[in-house]
Structure 1
Amino acid sequence: MDRPNIPLNALRAFEAAARHLTLSKAAVELCVTQAALSHQIRNLEDRLGVALFRRVPRGLVLTEEGAALAPVLTRSLDAIGNTLDRFSGGRYHEALHVGVVGTFATGWLIPRLADFEAAHPEVDLRVFTNNNRVSIPAEGLDLAIRFGDGSWHGLDAWRIMDAPLTPMCAPSLALSVISPQDLNKHRLLRSYRAGEWEGWFAGLGLICPPLRGPILDSSVALADMASQGRGVALLPAALLTHWERTGRLVRPFDHSVAMGSYWLTRLQSRPETAGMRSFRRWLQQALFCDEGTGGLPA
C-alpha cells in the first residue's frame, strides 16, 4: 500500500501539540497562529484517515492512534535536530563516544587529546573512564580501550600497547626493599585480576607470600595507595612515568610480569564510521611515534 505524502510541517505541528496537549503552547513554540496549527493537524488527520486528538475542556487528549505516533515522531525529530546541530564551519562533526580504562586515560590519552583535536576537528571526542569492566552496547560506546588478552566475544580488537606490570612503591618504603625477599615484610596491594603477584614471583623462581588486605579495581587507585606508603603495587610503569618523575613512586626492581596488553575494541556487528576510523588511525600512529622515540614520553 502506498504511504500518504505528508508535509513535514504537519508532522511538526502534531508532535508539538502532542507534547504540550494544548494548541496555544504548541503554536507559540512553532511561531505560528493557533488557527494555522489546527489546520496542519486536521490536514494530517485527513491524510491518515484517523483522529489523533480528542478535545477536552482543558486541552487535548491523544487518541490511541495519536499515542502510537507521537513518541516515534519525537525521537525522529530529535535525531534530525541532533544531526543538523553537528554541521558547523562548513563540515559535519561526528560525536565519538570512547570508553577508556582509567590508567590508560590518565597515563597516555588525556595528555594527547589536544593533538587529536587539532588533527581531527570534525570529531567531537567524548571520553568515559572505567575500571576495565565495560559493555560497549549497554553504555552506548563507539569504541573502548581496555586491558586484557584481546579475546572478547563479539568484538574486534587491535593491540595498541603492551603493559608489563612492575612493583612500584613510595620512595620511603623502597629503602627497605633491597631484594625480592624483602617484599615479604610489606603489604602487597592487590587488584581484582587474580594471579598477578603469583606470576611475578614465579618468574623469579620464588613462592608468592600470602596476600591480604583490600582488593582494588583500578590501577590508578593502586598507584595512589602505594604512593602513600601503604604497600607495594604491581603497576604498568609505562603509564605512570609522571608519578616517577615527580617522585611519588619508584621501581625497586626491573623484573616485570606480562598479564595483558591494552586493546582498542569495537563491536563486530557495527560498521566503522569515519570518526571511529580517524581515532583508530591516529591512536596507532601516535603510539608508533612513541615507540620510535624510545617509548612513551615523560
Structure 2
Amino acid sequence: MTRPYLPLNALRAFEASARHLSFTRAADELNVTQAAVSYQVKLLEERLGVALFKRLPRGLMITAEGEALLPVMRESFDRMADMLERLEGGKVRDILNIGAVGTFAVGWLLPRLARFQAGHPLIEVRLSTHNNRVDMTLEGLDYAIRFGDGAWHGLEAQRLFDAPLSPLCTPRLAQSLEAPADLIRHTLLRSYRENEWTHWFTAAGVSRPPARTHGVTFDSSLAMMEAAVQGVGVALAPPRMFARQLSSAQVVQPFDIHAALGSYWLTRLKSRPPSGAMEAFEAWLFDEVRLAYGHEA
C-alpha cells in the first residue's frame, strides 16, 4: 500500500501553529502570510482526513488528533535539524552528549577539553552539568561523570580517580589555624552529603570532633568554594578540583590531611552500546587521567 505524500511545508505549518495555537504567530515565525499557513494546515487536514485544530474566534484549539501528531513532528524536525547540523561543511560530525558533576566539569574537564577537540574535530561535545543526580535516559546522555562509589543500577562505571577532601579557606583565615581542632571555632561549609566533616576530623585525629557542624550546606561544591573565597567559612572540598584557586592563592590548604569518601567515575547505560565518538572520548579521558596522575589515580 502506498503511503500518502505529506508536503513538508504543511507539516512545518502545523507544528508551528500547534506550538503557538495561532496561525498569525506561526506565520511570523515562518516568514509567510497568515493565509499561507492556514492553507497549508487545511491541506494537511484534507490529506489525513481529520481535523487538527478547532478554529476559535481568538486563536486555535488543538484536537486529540493534533495532540497525537505534534510530538512526532517535533521529534522528526529535531532529528532533521541535528542531521543537517552534523552534515554542515560537507563532513558528517558526531554528537557526543556528556553530563558531568559541575565541580569536575569546571575544575578538571574544561581546562583539558580543547585538546580533545583539537584531536577530534568532527566530534561535537555537548556538555551539561549536574549535582550528582542525573537521569541518563531522560537527558539523552552518552556518558555521565559523577562522584561516588561506582555502584549505580543499570550503569557500567569506570573509575577515573579519587578525589579526597581537605579543608580550603582564605590565607587570612588560615593564619588562625595551628591545629586541626582549631577549625571547630570557624564556620564549616559542606556539601549535601552528611558527615563529611566528621570523617575528616577522624582522619585528623581530633579526639572530640563536633557532633554536627553548624555551617552552611551547599548543593554544589562550586558555590561552596565561592563562599570560601569570599571568607564565609572553611570549605571541605577536593583540592584536585580547585587547583586554579589554590595556584592563585585565593584559597590555601591549611592541613595536608584528607578524607577519602569516593571517586569520580565515567558511567554509561549498560543498554547503550558505545559509539565511535564515545570510544574516542573514553580513550582520550583515561589518557588525560594517566598524564595527570600516573598510577596514583
TM-score in same-fold range (> 0.5): yes
Q: Which residue of 1 aligns with 2:83?
A: 83
Change (3 A) 1:122 1:188: same
> Secondary structure at the residue paired with 2:184?
helix
Q: Which residue of structure 2 lines up, in the alignment, with residue 170 of structure 1?
A: 170
Describe the shift of the 1:13–1:52 C-alpha distance in structure 2 as closer, same or farther (beyond 3 A).
Answer: farther
Q: CA deviation at 1:104?
A: 0.9
Equivalent residue for 2:8, pick from 3, 8, 12: 12
The answer for the alignment partner of 2:274 in structure 1 is: 272
Matched residues in 1 for 2:131 and 2:66: separation? 44
CA distance in 1 between partners of 2:163 and 2:78 (Å): 42
Q: Separation in 1 of the partners of 2:67 and 2:8?
A: 15
Q: Percent identity?
A: 43
Structure 1 runs (4+) greater than 3 angstroms displaced: 16-22, 50-54, 60-75
Secondary structure in 1 aligned to 2:292?
Answer: helix
C-alpha displacement at 1:265, in angstroms?
A: 1.3
**Does the C-alpha gap of structure 1 residues 158 and 176 become closer, same or farther in structure 2, counting only changes over 3 Å?**
same
SS in 2 for 1:137: helix
> 1:248 aligned to 2:244?
no
Q: Distance in 2 between matches of 1:247 and 1:61?
A: 60
Q: Output the TM-score relative to the length of structure 1.
A: 0.78
Partner letter of residue 131 of structure 2? N
Larger CA Rg, structure 1 vs 2: 1
- Distance in 2 between the 1:64 and 1:178 partners? 71
What is the TM-score with the length of structure 2 in the denominator?
Answer: 0.78
Separation in 2, partners of 1:63, 1:280: 47
CA separation in 2, counterparts of 1:92 and 1:288? 31
- In structure 2, the partner of 1:195 is 195
Greater shift, 144-153 or 226-235, is seen at 226-235
Q: Cα distance, 1:126 vs. partner?
A: 1.5
Unaligned runs of 5+ in 2: none
Q: 1:231 to 1:61 in 2, by over 3 A?
A: closer
1:150, 1:158 within 8 Å by CA — same for their partners in 2? yes
Distance 1:102 1:257, change over 3 A: same
How far has the Cα of 1:168 moved from its partner?
A: 1.3
**Consecutive unaligned residues in structure 1, runs of 5 or more:** none
1:165-244 equivalences under 5 Å are: 165-206=165-206, 207-210=208-211, 211-244=213-246
> Secondary structure of 1:99's match?
strand
1:152-163 alignment runs, 5 A limit: 152-163=152-163
Counterpart-to-counterpart distance in 1, 2:266 and 2:259: 21
Distance in 1, matches of 2:64 and 2:189, equals 60
Q: Could you tell me how far 1:138 is from its partner in structure 2? A: 2.8
**1:144 lines up with 2:144 in the alignment:** yes
More deviation, 80-89/264-273 = 80-89
Residues of 2 paired with 1:96 and 1:140: CA distance? Answer: 10
Equivalent in the alignment of 1:257: 259
Structure 1 residues 62 and 221: CA distance shift in structure 2, 3 A? closer
More divergent stretch after superposition (114-123 vs 83-92)? 83-92
> Separation in 2 of the partners of 1:63 and 1:179?
71
Call closer, same or farther: CA 1:191–1:52 in 2, change over 3 Å.
Answer: closer
My pick for the range that moved more, 83-92 or 115-124, is 83-92
Q: The residue matched to 2:126 in structure 1 has which SS?
A: strand
Instruction: Count how many residue pairs are aligned between Structure 1 and Structure 2.
Output: 279
CA-to-partner distance for each residue in 1:90-115, whole Å, 9 max, x for gaps? 42112222111111111111111211
Give the superposition deviation at 1:221. Answer: 1.7
On the 8 A contact 2:188/2:216 being kept in 1, the answer is no
